[in-house]
């Protein structure tokens, strides 16, 4: 890592302000339904405690739209962190102002303080310099470890870095290390599996892959836009008609660049996107007019699995079908199994893809699951992430 990280700075006896990604999913009673993101911050927090720092954590949670909304309070996260880390976690009911200042001032080395949701202030997303300065005043050093928001320039992850010495935490360092295995001289053959909802979300990623990958395997709803562009009728499947020219151009460029560009041979179709509906497998040239394509078929899974098996680097972004409904999860499951069995480097990027691989039980069989959906997508598309760019070089 060419940027300063935790091991490049002296944190002994310092108040270290850490931007973490505690944007956890909550149910309607504010119970945390998945604490993966809290656990992902532990290496940085534990390192700081061990090295005699006072740890001040800040994060956003959900979309309170710049207003104080108790349903987006980080207080339940403080409690959960306390259980996980086995240590008292103090909580300030505001991220700036007197209470936060006092709590930060009183905090001793080896202690942890969590500040309230930074997005209770509209200044957060505007990267307001005065707001950022108030946050920065709470600490001696800033550490950015929130990979999930690294693609956004907000006050708590970019603005603060202008006021106090800054470094990256271990989570961001690990994310970049893995994503770079796909981005910088990937071991070949390099296969990219792309699915999910829309081509429009992933055009930049596809552009980048056309220069790097040996094979691109398409699934998910985006397959129907490619198929329609080639003249197939796709029934009632999700299609982005305005992206048909882009789809054609992508396939043309794949040919020019000698990238093997694969579309499914067969697809699962149904009349409704619902659990328990009747479904069939059909060749992609025989999708009935009244049906929706909702998954890739078994022949496609087999063919893709052969390619995945022989790959040295695999990245996967976007589920192969509407995996949330079990009838349409077999394609995603089959591909997950193939990726899990691949001895090469296997990287999962994308929020829903990560959820799918976890739900299907293959999480511990891949090299890396990115904790940041949008951030990993942008990084893999070759963009600089502002939350990383702002940190000084070593």
Residues that bind Mg ion (CB under 5 A): 351-352
Q: Ramachandran region of residue 235, left (φ > 0), alpha (ψ -120 to 50) or beta?
A: left
Which of 54/325 has CB closer to ligand ADP?
Answer: 325
Which of 128/201 has CB closer to Mg ion?
Answer: 201
List 373, 375, 386, 388, residue binding ligand ADP (CB under 6 A): 373
Residue 158 in tokens: 């970019």
Is residue 264 involved in binding ligand ADP (CB under 6 A)? no
Which of 99/272 has CB closer to ligand ADP?
Answer: 272
d(CA 360, CA 348): 13
Q: Among Mg ion, ligand ADP, none, what does residue 220 contact (CB within 5–8 Å per kind)? A: ligand ADP
Is residue 225 involved in binding ligand ADP (CB under 6 A)? no
Cα three-residue angle 60-65-70, rounded to 5 degrees? 65
Q: Among ligand ADP, Mg ion, none, what does residue 293 contact (CB within 5–8 Å per kind)? A: ligand ADP
Is residue 386 involved in binding ligand ADP (CB under 6 A)? no
Site size toward ligand ADP, by CB under 6 A: 20
Contact 209, 182 (CB under 8 A): no
Is residue 217 involved in binding ligand ADP (CB under 6 A)? no
Is residue 210 involved in binding ligand ADP (CB under 6 A)? no
Find the binding residues for ligand ADP in span 299-338 (CB under 6 A). 317-319, 321-322, 324
Which of 240/352 has CB closer to Mg ion?
Answer: 352
Nearest to 201 by CA among 23, 366, 374: 374
Q: Which residues carry out catalysis?
A: 37, 198, 351, 374
Rounded to a whole number, what is the distance in angstroms from the first to the last CA of the chain?
A: 8
Strands (E), the chain: 15-19, 54-58, 89-92, 112-115, 141-144, 166-168, 190-194, 215-218, 260-262, 266-270, 279-283, 292-296, 313-317, 345-349, 368-369
Which of 124/352 has CB closer to Mg ion?
Answer: 352
* Shortest distance (Å) from residue 319 CB to Mg ion: 9
* Shortest distance (Å) from residue 352 CB to ligand ADP: 3
**SS3 of 160-206:** HHHCCCEEECHHHHHHHHHHHHHHCCCCCCEEEEECCCCCCCCHHHH
Is residue 293 involved in binding ligand ADP (CB under 6 A)? yes
d(CA 211, CA 306): 22
Q: Among Mg ion, ligand ADP, none, what does residue 201 contact (CB within 5–8 Å per kind)? A: ligand ADP
Contact 86, 130 (CB under 8 A): no
Residues binding ligand ADP (CB under 6 A) = 195-197, 201, 220-221, 238, 293-294, 317-319, 321-322, 324, 350-353, 373
């Amino acid at each position: 890592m060419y940027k300063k990280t935790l091991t490049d700075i002296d944190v002994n006896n310092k108040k270290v302000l850490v931007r973490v990604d505690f944007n956890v999913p909550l149910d309607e009673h504010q119970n945390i339904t998945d604490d993966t993101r809290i656990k992902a911050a532990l290496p940085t927090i534990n390192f700081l405690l061990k090295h005699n720092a006072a740890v001040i954590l800040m994060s956003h949670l959900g979309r309170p739209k710049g207003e104080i909304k108790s349903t987006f309070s980080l207080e339940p996260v403080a409690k959960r962190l306390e259980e996980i880390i086995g240590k008292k976690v103090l909580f300030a009911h505001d991220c700036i102002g007197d209470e936060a200042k006092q709590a930060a001032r009183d905090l001793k080395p080896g202690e942890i303080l969590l500040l309230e949701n930074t997005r209770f202030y509209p200044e957060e997303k505007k990267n307001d310099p005065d707001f950022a300065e108030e946050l920065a005043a709470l600490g001696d050093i800033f550490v950015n470890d929130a990979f999930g928001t690294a693609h956004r320039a907000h006050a708590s992850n970019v603005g603060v870095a202008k006021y106090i010495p800054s470094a990256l935490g271990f989570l961001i360092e690990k994310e970049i290390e893995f994503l770079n295995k796909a981005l910088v001289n990937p071991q070949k053959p390099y296969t990219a599996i792309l699915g999910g909802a829309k081509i429009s979300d992933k055009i930049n990623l596809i552009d980048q892959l056309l220069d790097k990958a040996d094979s691109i395997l398409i699934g998910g709803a985006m397959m129907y836009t490619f198929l329609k562009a080639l003249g197939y009728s796709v029934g009632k499947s999700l299609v982005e008609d305005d992206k048909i020219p882009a789809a054609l151009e992508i396939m043309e460029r794949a040919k020019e660049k000698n990238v093997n560009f694969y579309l499914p041979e067969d697809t699962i179709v149904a009349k409704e996107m619902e659990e328990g509906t009747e479904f069939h497998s059909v060749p992609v040239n025989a999708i009935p007019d009244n049906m929706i394509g909702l998954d890739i078929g078994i022949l496609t899974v087999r063919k893709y699995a052969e390619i995945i098996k022989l790959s040295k680097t695999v990245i996967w972004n976007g589920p192969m079908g509407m995996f949330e409904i079990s009838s349409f999860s077999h394609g995603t499951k089959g591909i997950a199994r193939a990726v899990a069995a691949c001895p090469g480097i296997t990287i999962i990027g994308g929020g829903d893809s990560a959820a799918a691989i976890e739900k299907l039980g293959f999480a511990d069989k891949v090299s890396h699951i990115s904790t940041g959906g949008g951030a990993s997508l942008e990084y893999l598309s070759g963009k600089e992430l502002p939350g990383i760019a702002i940190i000084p070089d070593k």
